[in-house]
Structure 1
Amino acid sequence: MEERVTKLELETRIERLCNAITKRNPEWDNVLIINRINQYYLTGTMQDGLLIINKNGTAKFFVRRSLNRAIDESPLAESQICTIYPMESYRDAAKIVGSELGETFVETETLTIGIIERIKKYFKYSNLYPVENIIFEVRAVKSPYELYWLQEAGRLYNILLEEVVPSILREGMSELEFTAEMYSTMLKMGYHGVTRFYRYQTEMIAGQIGFGDSSLVETNFDSPGGMRGMCPAVPIIGSRDRILKKGDLVFIDIGFGMYGYHVDRTQIYMFGASPSDEVIEVHRKCIEIEKRAAQLLKPGNIPSEIYNNIMKELDSDFLKNFMGFGDRMVRFLGHGIGLHVDEPPVIANGFNSPLQENMVIALEPKKGIAGVGMVGVEDTYIVTPNGGKCITGGEKDIIIV
């Protein structure tokens, strides 16, 4: 598979976006794309610029920096539907497309007040509408190109967690040392170096890693697990002070991505000891939950119904500290994944649009155990008519190191 997306696929993505917007508002005129991940999805390059797509299906990509890279990297440089232009300010774009934008869709969660003011300085519009949900709707169904890189990332991720991590863990190392050694190995294996989230001000180089009950520490991240991190200013990566000792649970909940596309998996280890009967029982219950949810990842099924059907099967004792710890509980069982780790659809209440074939979803049932840590599983699945197809190795028991 080629590393770069093809011109035909990019043209198809633009067409699908235009069709999706037309379904919402047949009278629309233009959509402005500033978010760099969305620009990458639609152009194949990630630059500082402004992408304007017209209702007629044509696009103009105005690039502040770097124009040369945009022309070199984007297959749309050779497309009949898109032209790439240099830009110093939005004034340059307005001179080419005109100042009247009409009914306009924008990324309301990306545009700051400052950007809006600059747009208003050079453009006029009748109304502004949010386009985020429409773009995520288009991005949710993955193409063969996207599925290839997701599956390749899943294949390598499985090797990392099952073969490499056990060889790295050693008594006396800190969470930080472990993360550094694992991260170095990930890069050598093909990891693209960063785990991207759409949620505002969320940053990770990989994900959550904790020894023992560090995985129960509260964080600002919307996840069942936790981590202490390096310090209050950098509550990620891992603690310099938490040292691995015999009998520790090791919690690894990280993303692995290639060429922009992420998969997500969680693996639990016990270092220098066997897990207790309680830990084994809870972990295997989480495996059963994941398998049950995976069976329901079929086109036409409703995410909210999957969530509620699973949750109502769980007894009150198990629900205590399920999907979190203490009063810090998340209200989902899984999430869409792709160019961002946190994409729709979410297996949760409020998500009522039917699943479609080739959506990709990470399922992550987990439960905190006081004094031990977070146990449970997570794997990434492709939605198929036969249920979820796992691309990260499948539900695994706790690995004893």
Structure 2
Amino acid sequence: MAIQQECARRIRRLQTELEKRDLDGALFAYPIDIYYFSGTRPNALLWIPTAGDPVLLVRKSLSRALAESAVADVRTFPPSRELPSVLGAARRVGLTFDVLPVQQLHFLNKVLPGCDFVDISALNRELRSIKSAWEMEKMKESAARLCAVFARIPEFLRPDMRELDLSAEIEYRARKQGCEGYVRLRAFNQELFRGIAASGESAARSGFFDGPATGSGLSSAAAHGASTAPIARNAPILVDYTGVFEGYIVDMTRMFVFGELHPEMRKAFDVALEIQDYLTENLRPGQDCAELFAGAVALAEAAGLGNHFMGAPGEQAKFVGHGVGLELDELPILAQGFQVPLQLGQTVAVEPKFAFPGKGVIGIENTFAVGPEGGTRLTRLADDLIQI
């Protein structure tokens, strides 16, 4: 019953916004959007009219969709010629252009020639960014389970073990906790396998991933995450992992070292904590995301670490925090140029980090909920640098 009420609330919010935009409805093809509004994840199309009841058109699996769907009207996907009858008199229809392949758009233009398709990507992402009390409980549970895994890392972290072995130990325990592992990313050409366990030079190796740390990975075809390199003494060990439980993602990073960090690295860690404190205090409704990023950059520059902030010099990520929920890259983004105010109930992974080519990556990351007095931390595990 809870998921049915939750999805009904989401659908009503969407319908209100569609009406404001003079749209007749929205058609969703992207699986996680369908899940958000229907509570099930089939291969399907979901039609949500501005007025009236939604219809879920399922290619596979119809039986599972019938059992799980919070949408009452679940049907077998019809022949193409019958699709117009589902939409009825609808003419202005919203689509999520940010994730819809051109081939699928051509298909819809062909089978629904009377429809004018309008991009509702921004609307959809904004609606999804604001978490309900029901969703917040899911994210708190995800955070608790991920923290339980991180808390055990000192039990199995050993000198000279390979990055790959460390990652396998973390992933094994996360899986035993119920981690689903589907780290969904909306951005084109981005992909991620669970997270990063990397140290020293290997952690600081740049790659395709749009973040401050990539890791060397296992090959050029999988250029992200742990490598087979051994973990060296006195090198920063970065453990940056997602937890995905019942679809909801949280993100966190903790630092470890065998021995002592170089003073430059220790300073960078302390500055990362200072930046996190500044952002936490300002994760309040109405605060401008671009201004928060600029404030974080100013703190890094004041410490003499601006060239290393959020990536290797010349290859720095232009954000310091990203929305999380059913996807890892939701709104809001604490980023350069993202001049958008925060809203109550948004959830943000704050990750101030510093990259030193040839030496390592160091920083911190926690997931927060935007609140009236600042950010409420969901990943409630001490930030301490763990020396072993």
Indicate yes or no: 2:71 matched with 1:76.
Answer: yes
2:46 maps to what in 1?
Answer: 51
RMSD: 1.8
- What is the alpha-carbon distance in structure 1 between the residues aligned to residue 2 and residue 359 of structure 2? 45
Among 260, 271, 285, the residue aligned to 2:271: 285
- What is the alpha-carbon distance in structure 2 between the residues aligned to residue 199 and residue 70 of structure 1? 27
1:152-199 deviations in Å (ceiling 9; x for gaps): 1111222221x2212222233222222122111101012122222111
Other structure's SS at 1:228 match: coil
1:106-141 deviations in Å (ceiling 9; x for gaps): 111222222122212221244221111101111111
Among 170, 174, 190, the residue aligned to 2:162: 174
Among 309, 316, 332, the residue aligned to 2:319: 332
1:358 maps to what in 2?
Answer: 345
- What is the alpha-carbon distance in structure 1 between the residues aligned to residue 374 and residue 52 of structure 2? 35
Among 88, 104, 108, the residue aligned to 1:119: 108
Q: Which sections of structure 2, spanning at least 5 residues, go unmatched?
A: none
2:214 maps to what in 1?
Answer: 226
Indicate yes or no: 2:27 matched with 1:32.
Answer: yes
Q: Post-superposition shift, 1:313? A: 4.0
Check 1:89–1:105 CA distance in 2 against 1; reply closer, same or farther (3 A cut). Answer: same
Q: Is the 8 A contact 2:200 2:232 kept in 1?
A: no
1:15 maps to what in 2?
Answer: 12
2:128 maps to what in 1?
Answer: 139
Check 1:92–1:182 CA distance in 2 against 1; reply closer, same or farther (3 A cut). Answer: farther
1:96 maps to what in 2?
Answer: 86
Other structure's SS at 1:101 match: coil
Check 1:101–1:169 CA distance in 2 against 1; reply closer, same or farther (3 A cut). Answer: same
- What is the alpha-carbon distance in structure 2 between the residues aligned to residue 244 and residue 88 of structure 1? 55
Q: Is the 8 A contact 1:265 1:362 kept in 2?
A: yes
Q: Is the 8 A contact 1:297 1:387 kept in 2?
A: yes
2:56 maps to what in 1?
Answer: 61
Q: Is the 8 A contact 2:10 2:37 kept in 1?
A: yes
Q: Which sections of structure 1, spanning at least 5 residues, go unmatched?
A: 78-82
Q: Post-superposition shift, 1:237? A: 4.2
Q: Is the 8 A contact 2:139 2:250 kept in 1?
A: yes
2:176 maps to what in 1?
Answer: 188
Q: Is the 8 A contact 2:18 2:25 kept in 1?
A: no
- What is the alpha-carbon distance in structure 1 between the residues aligned to residue 379 and residue 127 of structure 2? 24
Among 354, 361, 364, the residue aligned to 1:367: 354
Q: Which stretch shifts more, 134-143 or 345-354?
A: 345-354
1:322 maps to what in 2?
Answer: 309
Q: Post-superposition shift, 1:95? A: 3.6
Other structure's SS at 2:286 match: coil
Q: Is the 8 A contact 2:109 2:115 kept in 1?
A: no
2:294 alignment partner AA = N
1:15 alignment partner AA = R
- What is the alpha-carbon distance in structure 1 between the residues aligned to residue 55 and residue 234 of structure 2? 59
Q: Post-superposition shift, 1:51? A: 0.6
2:153 maps to what in 1?
Answer: 165
Among 257, 263, 268, the residue aligned to 1:270: 257
Indicate yes or no: 2:117 matched with 1:109.
Answer: no
1:80 maps to what in 2?
Answer: none
2:83 alignment partner AA = A
